[in-house]
Structure 1
């Protein structure tokens, strides 16, 4: 299950940026351009989902279903960053916005992984056993049983 849709990510990308994402060849036909960019967007979404799951798996069963709205937002931000990072992001231009949004998403996901932020509505009782458990034998000696020895 993807945390965002192709259409949601596509809405975040300006039409004039599509040709750069596809390659060096300018494609005038909008239908052909959409057909070529669709698998690229889907791959960026899959990468974003994997990155999100990597952070969340420590505390939550993944993939989240249903995913909180905040995860949808950050999935879109990470997917768009993945698309533009293929070309190289110019930090002196408006593309820095993609980097800033990506960094905000990673910071949030890091805080979730550290347990400092909760996703709230997600059921954590089904979380994977990614931690550790400690078992020991019954206590043999106590203060009372050693008294007088």
Structure 2
């Protein structure tokens, strides 16, 4: 089960930033547009064979980082939830993207990305302990049935036109 796709990662963060992280060749051939096209499966006719080859390798690095993020998330969730989850909460997609971004930065990680990663690991630890819920049942991995209909309850009216004696 994947919590996020390459397209999710490129949409959540700047595709140009991710392209810079995964194109390790000189000169850089992978642009944001090219990486987005490879990730989404759109036509690559506008790009050279060398660019497409390099972008395919870059997409593999993105997929590997996302897989690493999934495996990390699963290592925390497996102690409390039945995997794979039948529905993926949106928060897990965000966490997977942020963790994959951390892995793509390798040894050049910024303080912001490092802090987000540490925060996500701490949050996953809280989920594993049960102090934070994903909003899915731990035994089945499904979202519980909700009766989230609004309900208004009140007593009889205190002020009624008939009780006012003509005052109102």
Instruction: Say whether the fold is shared (TM-score over 0.5).
Output: yes
How far is the alpha carbon of 1:118 from its aligned partner? 1.1
Structure with more relative contact order (C-alpha pairs < 8 Å, separation 6 or more): 1
Contact 2:65–2:104 (8 Å) recurs in 1: yes
Counterpart for residue 56 of structure 1: 77
Cα separation, 2, equivalents of 1:117 and 1:110: 9
Contact 1:19–1:26 (8 Å) recurs in 2: no
Question: Quick one: which of 111, 119, 137 aligns to 1:123?
Answer: 137
Contact 1:48–1:75 (8 Å) recurs in 2: yes
Counterpart for residue 120 of structure 2: 105
Cα separation, 2, equivalents of 1:29 and 1:104: 31
The yes-or-no answer on 1:45 pairing with 2:60 is no
| Larger gyration radius, structure 1 or structure 2 | 2
Contact 1:10–1:41 (8 Å) recurs in 2: no
How far is the alpha carbon of 1:28 from its aligned partner? 3.5
Contact 2:23–2:30 (8 Å) recurs in 1: no
How far is the alpha carbon of 1:98 from its aligned partner? 1.1
Unaligned runs of 5+ in 1: 90-94, 128-149
Moved over 4 A (4+): none
Contact 1:61–1:126 (8 Å) recurs in 2: yes
Cα–Cα, structure 1 residues 17 and 50, in superposed 2: closer, same or farther, change >3 Å? closer
Secondary structure in 2 aligned to 1:104? helix
1:35-93, CA deviations, whole angstroms, 9 ceiling, x for partnerless residues?
Answer: 23100000000000000000000100122221111111101110111111x2432xxxx
Counterpart for residue 18 of structure 1: 19
Q: With structure 1 as the length reference, what TM-score do the two structures score? A: 0.71
Counterpart for residue 140 of structure 1: none
Cα–Cα, structure 1 residues 29 and 39, in superposed 2: closer, same or farther, change >3 Å? closer
How far is the alpha carbon of 1:96 from its aligned partner? 1.6
Q: With structure 2 as the length reference, what TM-score do the two structures score? A: 0.64
Number of aligned pairs? 120
